[in-house]
Amino acid sequence: MLRYTTSEIAQILNAKLIGNPDIPVSLITIDSRTPNGGNGALFVAIVGQNHDGHRFIGELYSIQNVRAFLVSNSEGAVEQFPDATFIVCGNTLDALQKLAAYHRSKYAYPVVGITGSNGKTIVKEWLNQLLSGNFRIVRSPKSFNSQVGVPLSVLQMDENFQLGIFEAGISLVGEMDKLQPIINPEIGIFTNIGLPHQENFADIEQKVTEKLKLFKWVKQLIYCADHAEVSNAIISNINKNTTQLFTWGHSSSADVRIGKIEIDSKSSKISINYKNTP
């Protein structure tokens, strides 16, 4: 649970505060359709190509009793909503990401970051199933891996957890630069590389390089040795003196080599070999 006040958030964001500086904030929401009763909620008015969260301030104020808003435009709002408090910034998405990066920096327990063209959510949920018996885990809800979803996921972190598992997806050059300090993983997993969102990248190599920015400071990076584009980019971009590499795949060079795969109507059986042990 978050434990901030409106004045603390304004200070973190270097933003203008209009209204009550002492409203407690325990929940960040961007969706006016999410019922939260208003208690402890800060609504972030995200502005996109086809929507503007500022349009829903009235509904949240009058129906859900929300009294704290992060906005980029407060014109007329103070008069229209006299009991509301507004944190005014230049760009609400940038502010949400900045707040999440600050929040992430408060916690020292390990964080796993996952990216790749697909398989991110499956790997995240699989890891959660495997590790939840030993760790109290905070993880991305559903497939929250976008420029908005990642900060909302990381803002769930608190002192009650022991491990974080978050996924990150990108569709444009430069997006991972914004997500890296929010997740700031200690362990990285690169699932695979494929064609989704390829139209926004010059080539596969550029897309791999952009995704690898998530792992700028990881201590261990896990990836599939069968993808030449991924392997080559890692060799070129990752410092092996500070990052331990661990691979899986069909390749004879993989640390975990996949052997025979047997599938029937009820189960799948995969034979593996660890570092060519007999």
Q: How many CB atoms lie within 10 A of CB 128?
A: 16
Residues 88 and 111 in one domain: no
Whether residue 131 is found in the same domain as residue 240: yes
pLDDT of residue 35: 67
Q: How many domains does the chain fold into?
A: 2
Residues 192 and 139 in one domain: yes
Q: What are the helix (H) ranges across 38-154?
A: 57-62, 77-80, 92-104, 120-131, 149-154
The answer to whether residue 221 is domain-embedded is yes
Tens digit of each residue's pLDDT, the chain (278 residues): 899 999 999 999 999 999 999 999 999 999 887 766 788 999 999 999 899 999 999 999 999 999 999 999 999 998 999 999 999 999 999 999 999 999 999 999 999 999 999 999 999 999 999 999 999 999 999 999 999 999 999 999 999 999 999 999 999 999 999 999 999 999 999 999 987 778 889 999 999 999 999 999 999 999 999 999 999 999 999 998 999 999 999 998 899 999 999 999 999 999 999 988 86
pLDDT per position as a tens digit, 243-258: 999 999 999 889 999 9
d(CA 74, CA 82): 12
Domain of residue 24, residue span: 4-97
161, with CB counted inside 10 A (0-12, 13-18, 19+), is: middle
Q: Which of 52, 68, 97 is the last residue in one of the domains?
A: 97
Going edge to edge, which strands form the sheet with 256-263?
A: 137-139, 163-167, 111-115, 187-190, 220-224, 244-249, 256-263, 268-274
Given a contact cutoff of 8 angstroms between Cβ atoms, the answer to whether 261 and 269 are in contact is: yes
Give a yes or no: residue 229 inside a domain. Answer: yes
Place of tokens 């034979």: 271
Are residues 123 and 261 part of one domain?
A: yes
At a CB cut-off of 8 Å and minimum separation 6, what does 47 contact?
Answer: 53, 54, 72, 91, 92, 93
Q: Which of 97, 120, 136 is the last residue of a domain?
A: 97
Task: Please indicate, yes or no, whether residues 80 and 129 belong to a single structural domain of this protein.
Answer: no
193/236 same-domain check: yes
Kindly provide the residue ranges of all beta strands, DSSP E only, lying in the chain, ordered along the sequence. 4-5, 16-18, 24-25, 27-29, 41-44, 68-71, 85-88, 111-115, 137-139, 163-167, 187-190, 220-224, 244-249, 256-263, 268-274
Of 45, 47, 39, 46, nearest to 2 by C-alpha is: 39
214 burial type by CB count under 10 A (0-12 exposed, 13-18 middle, 19+ buried): buried
Tell me the C-alpha distance between 166 and 158, whole Å.
14
What CATH number is associated with residue 48?
Answer: 3.40.1390.10
The reply to whether 208 and 180 lie within a common domain is: yes
Cα 165 from Cα 91, distance rounded (Å): 27
| Residue 55: inside a domain | yes
Type and span of the H or E element at 237: helix 228-237
What gap in Å lies between CA 189 and CA 114, rounded to an integer? 5
Same domain, 269 and 145: yes
Cβ–Cβ contacts within 10 Å for residue 231, how many? 20
Q: Which amino acid is at 219?
A: K
CATH code of the domain containing 143 = 3.40.1190.10
Q: Are residues 73 and 123 in the same domain?
A: no
Residues 134 and 57 in one domain: no
Last residue of a domain, one of 97, 120, 141: 97
- Whole-number pLDDT of residue 130: 98
| Pair 126, 251 in one domain | yes
Domain match, 269 and 132 both: yes
